[in-house]
Amino acid sequence: MNNPYQLFIDGVWRDGSDGTRVPVINPATEEAFAEVCWGTPEDANLALDAAERALSGEWSTWSPTRRGRFLFAVAASVRRNAAKLAVLFSQEHGKPPHQAAGELEDAARYLEYFGGLADKLSGLTIDLGRGQLDYVLREPLGVTVHIAPWNYPLDIFCRSVAPALAAGNTCVVKPAEEISLVTLALTRLFQEEGIPAGVLNVIPGSGSVLGPVLTEDPRVRGIVFTGSVVTGRKVLQSAARNITPVVSMELGGKAASLVFVKDASELDGPAGGAAGAMAWNAGQSCGQRSRWYVRRDLYEPFIEKVIERVRGLRVGPFTEPGVQLGPLVSKKHYDNVMNYIRIGIEEGARLIAGGGRPEGVGDKGYFVAPTVFADCNNRMRIVREEIFGPVITIIPVDSLDEALALANDNMFGLSSEIWTSDITIAHSVAAKLDVGHVTINGSAAFGFEVPFGGVKQSGLGREGGPEAILAYTRLKNVWINLK
Catalytic residues: 250, 286
72's enclosing H/E stretch is helix 64-80
| Shortest Å, Cβ 451 to ligand NDP | 12
Q: Are strands 220-226 and 143-147 parallel, antiparallel or unpaired?
A: parallel
CA-closest candidate to residue 291, choices 369, 376, 401: 376
Separation between Cα atoms, residue 424 and residue 443, nearest integer Å = 19
Q: Do 222 and 169 contact (CB within 8 A), yes or no?
A: yes
Cα distances from 481 to residues 129, 182, 350, in angstroms, run 11, 54, 74
Separation between Cα atoms, residue 93 and residue 26, nearest integer Å = 7
Residues forming the site for ligand NDP (CB under 6 A): 147-152, 174, 176-177, 206-208, 211-212, 215, 226-228, 231, 234-235, 250-253, 286, 386, 388, 414, 459
Q: Do 142 and 172 contact (CB within 8 A), yes or no?
A: no
Which parts of 145-295 fold into alpha helices (H)?
153-166, 181-192, 207-216, 229-241, 268-279
For residue 373, give the 3-state DSSP assignment. strand
Q: Do 453 and 461 contact (CB within 8 A), yes or no?
A: yes
Specify burial of residue 421 (Cβ count, 10 A radius: 0-12, 13-18, 19+). exposed
CA-closest candidate to residue 107, choices 66, 75, 136: 75
Separation between Cα atoms, residue 320 and residue 72, nearest integer Å = 33
Cα distances from 128 to residues 136, 290, 348, 483, in angstroms, run 13, 54, 68, 15
Cα distances from 297 to residues 300, 302, 376, 398, 424, in angstroms, run 8, 9, 16, 9, 20
For residue 29, what is the DSSP state? T
Length of the chain equals 483
Q: Do 242 and 465 contact (CB within 8 A), yes or no?
A: no
Separation between Cα atoms, residue 423 and residue 408, nearest integer Å = 21
